[in-house]
Amino acid sequence: TGCSGRNSNSEKEKKQYVIGFSQIGAESSWRERNTQSVLEAGKKANYKIIYENANQSQVEQIKDVRSFIASRVDLIILTPIVETGWRHVLEEAADANIPVVISDRLVSKEDAYLFKTFVGPDVPIQGIQTADFLKKKFKDAPAPINVVEIQGSVDASPAISRHEGLVEGLKDDPRFKIVASVHGDFMLSKGREAIKNVAKSHDLKQVDVIYCHNDDMADGVVSYLEETDIKPGRDITICSVDGQQSAIDLLKAGKINCVIECDPNMGEKLFQVVTAILDEKDVPKENFTTGRVFSEYSDLTNIEERGY
């Protein structure tokens, strides 16, 4: 039908690019919102998205990326569950000339030459912001100030950076001691399990702070403490990261003291970068999303509905 006088609409004939999106799984409310944000923004920008969810398995994620390469997608978006172990599959993508955008979590610095750009939160800052809150809160308190840390998953970049950020932020104040640091995989049930286990070896009455690497684990910690005679937010200061609705509600109720916002809605920014890459424009190596600090010192009256 090449000669029907209406065939010169080059916009319509423009090729629809195919993007492979390899997501970690659905461990938290944050993650579910993040997935929706990426899929919505991709659709809106008129990309065909092949979405794979690896159910918390790096082995699955690597298979998913290989399947994108085999079907010769135009670009791959990867949210790496852990930092290490990506070299081979990223080299395979490079050999196939398929650009890779890393989203939300990072791969090891040594592999940074194998991806085009990163879109996601500036996570080390979140640990520093937590430390700043704690130094304010415990301004006049005597040493020691005992901190229990409920980390995310082993080798996940936000777990590493949220830990390092806190340590960095507290290093000028030797009153703070991390007395236990355990992993809760960013999951509510495992956060609850983690604090329950810590309570077997530590007297929680001696603990001043519980720092949770995400809100779902903080929800688990609060629900456990509420079954004891320790009042979360009052007897123990609770800090968390993400800013989901449940944590804001607990903050308002005085059961959490500080929540660092980590915005999961990165889809729009992500596809601006994707479009620039496919248009062969230069993009910065890092594109950070921003977040606020919500704490007992903030005005909590006008926080918008969170949507996650």
Q: What is the dihedral angle through the alpha carbons of 296, 197, 180, 256, rounded to the nearest 10 degrees? A: 0
* Nearest distance in Å: CB 143, ligand GYE: 30
33 binds ligand GYE (CB under 6 A): no
Binding mask 64-93 for ligand GYE (x = CB under 6 A): ------------------------------
With respect to ligand GYE, which residue has the nearer C-beta, 64 or 104? Answer: 104
Q: Which range binds ligand GYE by CB under 6 A, 23-31, 57-65, 142-150, 268-276? A: 23-31
The beta-strand segments (E) located in 74-113 are: 75-78, 100-103
Q: Of the candidates 158, 165, 169, 291, which one interacts with ligand GYE according to CB under 6 A?
A: 158
246 binds ligand GYE (CB under 6 A): no
130 binds ligand GYE (CB under 6 A): no
Q: Of the candidates 30, 68, 86, 133, which one interacts with ligand GYE according to CB under 6 A?
A: 30
In the chain, the largest separation of any two C-alpha atoms, in whole Å, equals 84
User: What six digits make up the tokens of 22?
Assistant: 């390899």
**Residues in 196-215 that interact with ligand GYE by CB under 6 A:** 214
With respect to ligand GYE, which residue has the nearer C-beta, 127 or 146? Answer: 127
Q: Of the candidates 111, 149, 208, 242, which one interacts with ligand GYE according to CB under 6 A?
A: 242
With respect to ligand GYE, which residue has the nearer C-beta, 165 or 179? Answer: 165
Tell me, what DSSP letter sits at residue 242? E
Q: Report how many helices (DSSP H) and strands (DSSP E) the chain contains, helices first.
A: 10, 12
Q: Determine the 3-state secondary structure of 236 from DSSP.
A: strand
264: Cβ contacts below 8 Å, ≥ 6 apart:
30, 31, 33, 34, 37, 242, 308
Distances (CA, A) of 113 to 101, 135, 233, 287: 12, 38, 44, 16
* Nearest distance in Å: CB 244, ligand GYE: 8
104 binds ligand GYE (CB under 6 A): yes
Look at residues 145, 221, 169, 168 and name the one whose alpha carbon lies nearest to residue 190.
221
* Nearest distance in Å: CB 24, ligand GYE: 7
129 binds ligand GYE (CB under 6 A): no
With respect to ligand GYE, which residue has the nearer C-beta, 179 or 238? Answer: 238
SS (H, E, C) 256-281: CCEEEECCCCCHHHHHHHHHHHHCCC
151 binds ligand GYE (CB under 6 A): no
Query: Is residue 54 within 8 Å of residue 84, measured between CB atoms?
Result: no
* Nearest distance in Å: CB 180, ligand GYE: 21
Query: Is residue 179 within 8 Å of residue 204, measured between CB atoms?
Result: no
Q: Which range binds ligand GYE by CB under 6 A, 25-33, 62-70, 194-202, 250-258? A: 25-33
Q: Determine the 3-state secondary structure of 52 from DSSP.
A: strand
Tell me which residues touch ligand GYE (CB under 6 A).
27-28, 30-31, 104-105, 121, 158, 186, 214, 241-242, 262
